[in-house]
Structure 1
Amino acid sequence: MTAEKTSYVVLGGTSGIGAELAKQLESEGTIVYVASRKTGLDISDEQSVYHYFETIGTFDHLIITAGSYAPAGKVVDVDVSQAKHAFDTKFWGAINAAKHGARYIKKGGSITLTSGILSRKVVANTYVKTAINAAIEATTKVLAKELAPIRVNAVSPGLTKTEAYQGMNEDDRNAMYESTQNSLPVGKVGEASEVAKAYLLLIQNTYMTGAVIDVDGGALLG
Structure 2
Amino acid sequence: MNITSLRFDGQHVVVVGGSSGIGRAVAVAAEAAGARVTALGRHTPIACDLTDDASVVQAFQRTGAIDHLVLTPGARVGSPRLEQLTDAELLTAYQVKLFGSLRAIRAALPVLAPTASITLTSGQLARKPSPGGLLKGSLNAAVDAAGRQLAKELAPRRVNVVSPGAIDTPLWGADGDAARAATLARVGGTLPVGRVGRPDELAQAYLLAMATGFMTGSVIDVDGGGLL
Normalising by the residue count of structure 2, what TM-score does the alignment of the two structures yield? 0.91
* Aligned residue number for residue 142 of structure 1: 149
Whole-angstrom distance in 2 between the partners of 1:169 and 1:30: 32
* Aligned residue number for residue 95 of structure 1: 102
The one of 177, 200, 204 equivalent to 2:207 is 200
* Aligned residue number for residue 3 of structure 2: none
The C-alpha deviation readout for 1:157-204, integer Å capped at 9, x for no partner, is 011111222259923212221222211111111000110000000000
- SS of the equivalent of 2:88 reads helix
May I ask how many residue pairs the two structures share in their alignment?
219
Gaps of 5+ in 1: none
The C-alpha deviation readout for 1:14-37, integer Å capped at 9, x for no partner, is 001111111111158421000112
Quick check: 2:174–2:180 contact (8 Å CA) kept in 1? no
1:28–1:113 distance in 2 versus 1, CA, 3 Å = closer
Q: Does residue 10 of the first structure (1) align with residue 15 of the second (2)?
A: yes
What amino acid does structure 2 have at the position aligned with 1:149?
A: P
Q: Does residue 124 of the first structure (1) align with residue 127 of the second (2)?
A: no
| 165-174 or 89-98, larger mean C-alpha shift | 165-174
What amino acid does structure 2 have at the position aligned with 1:101?
A: A
- SS of the equivalent of 1:121 reads coil
Quick check: 1:71–1:83 contact (8 Å CA) kept in 2? no
Quick check: 2:75–2:92 contact (8 Å CA) kept in 1? no
Whole-angstrom distance in 2 between the partners of 1:207 and 1:28: 20
- SS of the equivalent of 1:48 reads helix
Cα RMSD of the aligned pairs, angstroms, is 1.8
Gaps of 5+ in 2: 1-7
Quick check: 2:9–2:33 contact (8 Å CA) kept in 1? no
Quick check: 2:197–2:224 contact (8 Å CA) kept in 1? yes
- SS of the equivalent of 1:38 reads coil
| 77-86 or 116-125, larger mean C-alpha shift | 77-86
* Aligned residue number for residue 27 of structure 2: 22
Whole-angstrom distance in 2 between the partners of 1:13 and 1:100: 17
The one of 146, 160, 163 equivalent to 1:156 is 163
Whole-angstrom distance in 1 between the partners of 2:85 and 2:178: 26
After the TM superposition, which residues 1-222 of structure 1 pair with which residues of structure 2 at under 5 Å, given as runs? 5-27=10-32, 29-39=34-44, 40-167=47-174, 170-221=177-228
Percent of pairs with identical residues:
39
What amino acid does structure 1 have at the position aligned with 2:105?
A: A
Quick check: 1:58–1:105 contact (8 Å CA) kept in 2? yes
What amino acid does structure 1 have at the position aligned with 2:173?
A: Q
Whole-angstrom distance in 2 between the partners of 1:28 and 1:143: 27
Please report how far the alpha carbon of residue 70 of structure 1 lies from its aligned counterpart in structure 2 after TM superposition.
2.5
Please report how far the alpha carbon of residue 76 of structure 1 lies from its aligned counterpart in structure 2 after TM superposition.
1.2
Please report how far the alpha carbon of residue 83 of structure 1 lies from its aligned counterpart in structure 2 after TM superposition.
1.4
Please report how far the alpha carbon of residue 108 of structure 1 lies from its aligned counterpart in structure 2 after TM superposition.
2.2
Whole-angstrom distance in 1 between the partners of 2:170 and 2:88: 25
The C-alpha deviation readout for 1:102-158, integer Å capped at 9, x for no partner, is 221113211000000011111111211111100000110000000000100000001
- SS of the equivalent of 1:76 reads helix
